[in-house]
Structure 1
Amino acid sequence: MSAVSVEIDGAVGKILFTSPEDGNGIDTAFCDSFLAAAEQLGADDAVRAILIASDGRNFSVGANVKTFLGLPSTEFAQLALRMTDTLHPAVERFVSMEKPIITLVQGNAAGAGLGVALLGDICLVTPETRMLVAYPGIGLSPDAGVSYMLPRLVGLRRAQEIIMLEQIIGGADAVRIGLATRLVEADALRSEGLAIASALAQRPTKALGRSKKLLLQSFGADIKKQLDDEAEQITICAGEPHAFEGVNAFIERRKAHFV
């Protein structure tokens, strides 16, 4: 059985991590399946929002370190490269995807598991959630986009502290510092996440995707480039059916139907 399953529920694509006995640990099979899921859902125009969740107590404890035991350093390095060769294209695909992503994070989200959790444009956590980097403690540096997303979400100084001191961030604190979006009770995590995903799937997907792109690139752009890109993206949006429907619905005082 694959450690990553994919299900289509209307306009929502659901990705589920299904190895709770291993804390939904990440190994080469997981990386391959996660990339396949990214490619499948990214290419499916009927999917307009993506929900990432997991079975069991933990979202993902990160790399399955049992696969590292006893490996000589050269083989360990080769395995790390093999994993990132598929995990990183998956992360890049999700980050650049126009479709909104919702992550549902219970229990531990550590190492690369934290990187996956941070892919959520909306990230829901529970009071029991524990987010931690976990790399320096085993002599490693971040992967899975952690060094990209973390400073964008909490700022460089806070990101340095979280990584270098290996701070454990609980659910409430994750929301407080901007690492997560909303705190919900564990028994409501799936239902609230699905409700948000379903609502986002009814929104104008391309406008949301272009907004997402503009926000992420703003950290490396000067004001002129950002304004130029805003002008380009809003012009493209204005020429598409979603804008026509949205403006007319506003004028006619009715709910817009973005199909």
Structure 2
Amino acid sequence: MFRRDLVERMYGALRTGDADVLAEVLDPTFTGRSTDGLPRGLGGTFASPASMRDEFWWRIGQLYRLTPQVEEFLETEEGAVVTGTYIGTARSSGLPLRAAFTHRIVVVDGRITHLDQVTDSAAWHAALGEELATMRLAVEDGLATLCLARPDVRNAIDLRFAEDLLLAARRVASDRAVRALLICGDGPALTVGGDLDYIVENGGDDVGALLRTMTTSYHAALTTFAQLDVPVVTAAQGAVAGGGLGLVFAGDIVVASEDARFVSAFAALGLSGDGGGTWHLPRRIGPARAAEVYLENRPISAREALDWGLVNEVVLTADLRRRATERAQRLAQGPTRAFGAIRRLLRDSWSSSLSDQLAAETDTISRIAATADAHSAVSAFLAKTRPTFEGA
């Protein structure tokens, strides 16, 4: 009960802005960590009570009016785990904020020494009404088109890009009108991977901390793409390098231009890799080729990518966007529920035994057979007509 009273005093002080009470409940050695990917650079580690108060809590108060609603309080050996929901509005936009949170709190000798916050960063961005700054997202006739829009730096990935990608991915995932996703890029390259100029200029003495923040949001976006219930098409042109390869791996169908070149680039920079390449490449092109691509920094031409199974089709550079859009539009008119089930079965097959996969196929096909699209398709087959799928 004592720990709960202590934590509730902290929440009460945050609601009222009472710095004196915060000073009483927080130990001088206190450190805090907030979710990476929060807007306006709010995510990160804060190494003192003053830093957490001034650079995180008070800045949140400047951007939002909100209250943390505690829903569950669990005492642990170290302190407590608190779950709940932030409820409020953004001051600038007036848009609502509703974001789940989990706080892991450490208590030593009656004072709070550590707090880890995990929350839905995309909800915080959405409440501010922020537009995507580094890419465009549009939905038309069931097709979501996500176009990377930093052509002047060949769509290099900086922190805002990573945050935008996560926000866009979550918007696609939550939009029931979306039946397929096309990922493409403005300019001569889909993406050259990390923006080295940005990383060097902003990394300071701890580039690793910046890379951790960037990859946390970027990898969360890639995970969201992987878990979508709709098919994904990627259009790849020019240089596709480093972590940018993750957008190739995100595609169920990948259409490449004849000038496309795929390269890991990490070893040349003395780095190890991100974007899921160390997981996907051995599965796509085989472990020996993947080791060569990573260790020797060997580029893969468009034709090799086709022969090795990294892409599905190679077209003239001038035809890339049109052809990728055609394939994505066709998928957007297909049996969406079945597509989602197929994606899950294919994804889960990597970690399933044959018997488990067969059981999953039985369960899934029996469920999908009850959908409206399956009924209409079977009827159309028997009538020797072309089915029309509604995505239901």
TM-score range, shorter chain: over 0.9
**What are the Cα deviations for residues 139-187 of structure 1, in whole angstroms up to 9, with x where unaligned?**
2112112122212211222212211111101111110100111000011
Aligned residue in 1 for 2:262: 131
SS at match of 1:69: helix
Give the counterpart letter for 1:158 in structure 2.
Answer: R
- Verify the 8 A CA contact 1:34 1:90 in the aligned structure 2: yes
SS at match of 2:177: coil
Structure 1: 5+ residue stretches without partners: none
How many Å separate the matches in 2 of 1:166 and 1:201?
A: 37
Shift of the 71–41 alpha-carbon distance from structure 1 to 2, 3 Å rule, reads closer
Say whether residues 1:78 and 2:209 are aligned partners. Answer: yes
Aligned residue in 1 for 2:320: 189
How many Å separate the matches in 2 of 1:250 and 1:74?
A: 65
Alignment of 1:1-259 (within 5 A): 2-69=133-200, 75-259=206-390
How many Å separate the matches in 1 of 2:348 and 2:239?
A: 29
**What are the Cα deviations for residues 165-212 of structure 1, in whole angstroms up to 9, with x where unaligned?**
111011111101001110000111111111111110111112112112
Shift of the 125–72 alpha-carbon distance from structure 1 to 2, 3 Å rule, reads closer
How many Å separate the matches in 1 of 2:367 and 2:281?
A: 30
Q: Alignment identity in percent?
A: 31
Q: Which runs of 4+ in 1 moved over 4 A?
A: 70-74
How many Å separate the matches in 2 of 1:80 and 1:5?
A: 24
Give the counterpart letter for 2:355 in structure 1.
Answer: K
How many Å separate the matches in 2 of 1:90 and 1:156?
A: 25
User: How far is 1:74 from its partner?
Assistant: 5.3
- Verify the 8 A CA contact 2:235 2:324 in the aligned structure 1: yes
User: How far is 1:84 from its partner?
Assistant: 1.4
- Verify the 8 A CA contact 1:152 1:219 in the aligned structure 2: no
TM-score, structure 2 as length reference? 0.64
How many Å separate the matches in 1 of 2:135 and 2:196?
A: 18
TM-score, structure 1 as length reference? 0.96
Structure 2: 5+ residue stretches without partners: 1-131
Give the counterpart letter for 1:75 in structure 2.
Answer: D
SS at match of 1:123: strand
**What are the Cα deviations for residues 103-143 of structure 1, in whole angstroms up to 9, with x where unaligned?**
11110000111111221111011111010111111121121
- Structure having greater relative contact order (Cα 8 Å, sep ≥ 6): 1
SS at match of 2:206: helix
User: How far is 1:219 from its partner?
Assistant: 2.1
- Verify the 8 A CA contact 2:203 2:210 in the aligned structure 1: no
Shift of the 71–188 alpha-carbon distance from structure 1 to 2, 3 Å rule, reads closer
Aligned residue in 1 for 2:74: none
Give the counterpart letter for 2:133 in structure 1.
Answer: S
- Verify the 8 A CA contact 2:158 2:199 in the aligned structure 1: no
Q: Which deviates more from structure 2 when the two are superposed, residues 229-238 or residues 1-10? A: 1-10
SS at match of 2:138: strand
**What are the Cα deviations for residues 70-129 of structure 1, in whole angstroms up to 9, with x where unaligned?**
667752111011101211110000011111111111100001111112211110111110
User: How far is 1:213 from its partner?
Assistant: 1.8
User: How far is 1:242 from its partner?
Assistant: 1.6
User: How far is 1:217 from its partner?
Assistant: 2.0
Give the number of the structure whose alpha-carbon radius of gyration is greater.
2
How many Å separate the matches in 2 of 1:72 and 1:31?
A: 15
Give the counterpart letter for 2:255 in structure 1.
Answer: L
Give the counterpart letter for 1:99 in structure 2.
Answer: V
